[in-house]
Chains A and B, each alone.
Chain A
């Protein structure tokens, strides 16, 4: 493996006042991998995603995409380099139709798609996430899962090499969860690497190649899902000392 990893995070640190939300985090993602980012609430997972996507600037550390440093760049520049994301609280564009939401991803990202071809691509992406024929529907009329699907379609419209999913599978019912897991799995077939913050253990076990577990901003474990979930330090982080 001479090629540099798709994403290499080293010593990433971000403080909010006295609180060190992310503290010297190291993380690598290779092309086509699905990596789980786990940890109890408040352990810095979402902050880590925000640092990678450019929503926040790190106080220290580096983020390299295909070997190029991207830490501290504006979010739109990072997006144009092929890093797409979804949000912990789903964000769809409320005054627009589903197709227009996806067009927003197509028009400004890595593709610069516009016009008739973009419309066709948008419909393809809607079909991909299970919103076939819903292009003209206003986003306000969508159910929660469909909003999540739409958000994913918009992220995929950037044709990303790296997709950051922030609890994309949270809040789904069991049937929807199975559909969601299949959808995420199918993305790997396209060569997209995924870094997912997730609490749904079934999804982590069935999807992730590796997991990184954070606690209080630090990485406390890394390995296969079954190995890290059996790690005493991980159990202690989630449940406290007595159960370890």
Chain B
């Protein structure tokens, strides 16, 4: 399990290079499945970046994702693509800063409810603005971005979110977050600015979610607030991260792969019972594997190692 660092880097580079070849060989359906996997990988890993160490359960994922989508829908036609991404990033990060400063004093269930309410509030605000100001509820997304390009951009985002996670883990911020997760009182008394650390991480996590939404926007040719700010997205990301395990950087991916496939299967075969079925899946996961697949794998690995003399 403990490979030298150069081997790890080369291994990761080879894996990314292979993944980059997917659009060259996959047909339309498989490529769209791969995009779904990458989309949830970015979202769930970004979610765990903040919620793993701090143990704050956020349901605001779709608020940031939706802001990314809408930024593209509004500005995609008029500005250059990199500029659109930059503006989306800016809006997402500033919103995260405001939310972070005003809500990270809340704890436990209050934070969960607030973030859920926040996503709904953003959706209602956008709806109100579209109905009363622009006098239209839906928008068409006209940008020159091919499906292959969406895939590659998502892959780049995924690489960036993992790199960010690794860098944080090795930094003082990473240690600060672990101390906060263990005991916030101790954190305050060893000189950690707890609020600043949490807000910084919340902003970083939101940055990836917003960019992910912006990159995904051209997947839809038509959007409205109910599509862009669909609360189910927040819940799915949460379930995936919890199933995979939030205490490891690679954890969420282990939940993303089986659940994306499961949701795909459920949507295709039981479209009318989709909500109740993911509800059941959620409960089973929380009861049966509280530490996620990563935790389960580590436990089994420890047992295998322990069994040897």
Taking a contact as CB atoms closer than 8 A, the residue among A55, A107, A114 that contacts B189 in the complex is A55
**Measured CA separation A53–B186 after assembly (Å):** 12
B190 within 8 A of partner (CB): yes
B191 touches A76 (CB 8 A): yes
Q: Chain B binding site: helix, strand, loop or mixed by DSSP? A: helix
Q: Which chain A residue has the least Cβ–Cβ distance from B188?
A: A75
Q: Tally of A-B residue pairs with Cβ under 8 A?
A: 70
In the complex, A104 has a CB within 8 A of chain B: yes
In whole angstroms, what is the CA distance A56 to B190 when docked?
16
Instruction: Let me know if B175 and A75 touch, CB within 8 A.
Output: no
8 A Cβ contacts from A73-110 to B: 74-76, 79-80, 84-85, 87, 91, 93-96, 100, 103-105, 107-110
Chain A, 17-56, CB within 8 A of any chain B CB = 53-55
Q: Which of B172, B178, B192 contacts A76 (CB 8 A)?
A: B192
| B172 proximity list for chain A (CB < 8 A) | 107-108, 114
In the complex, which residues 174-189 of chain B have their Cβ closer than 8 Å to any Cβ of chain A?
175-176, 178-179, 181-183, 185-189
Q: Please tell me if A12 contacts chain B, counting CB pairs below 8 Å.
A: no
Contact B188 A108 (CB under 8 A): no
Q: Are the C-beta atoms of B189 and A104 separated by less than 8 Å?
A: no
A14 at the interface (CB under 8 A from B): no
Determine whether the beta carbon of B185 is less than 8 Å from that of A108. no
Q: Assess the B188–A76 pair: CB atoms within 8 A.
A: yes
- Whether B159 sits at the interface, judged by CB under 8 Å, is no
- With an 8 A cutoff between CB atoms, is B275 at the interface? no
Query: Taking A76-B193, A76-B194, A108-B172 as contacts, is the C-beta distance between A96 and B188 under 8 angstroms?
Result: no
Indicate if the CB atoms of A95 and B181 lie closer than 8 Å. Answer: yes
**Residues on B with beta carbons closer than 8 Å to the beta carbon of A104:** 175, 179, 186-187, 190, 192
Knowing A95-B181, A96-B178, A100-B175, the reply to whether A108 touches B186 (Cβ < 8 A) is no
27 examples of A-B residue contacts, CB within 8 angstroms = A55-B189, A75-B188, A75-B189, A76-B187, A76-B189, A76-B190, A76-B191, A79-B189, A79-B190, A79-B191, A84-B190, A87-B185, A91-B185, A93-B186, A95-B182, A103-B175, A104-B175, A104-B179, A104-B187, A107-B172, A107-B175, A107-B176, A108-B176, A108-B190, A108-B191, A109-B190, A157-B190
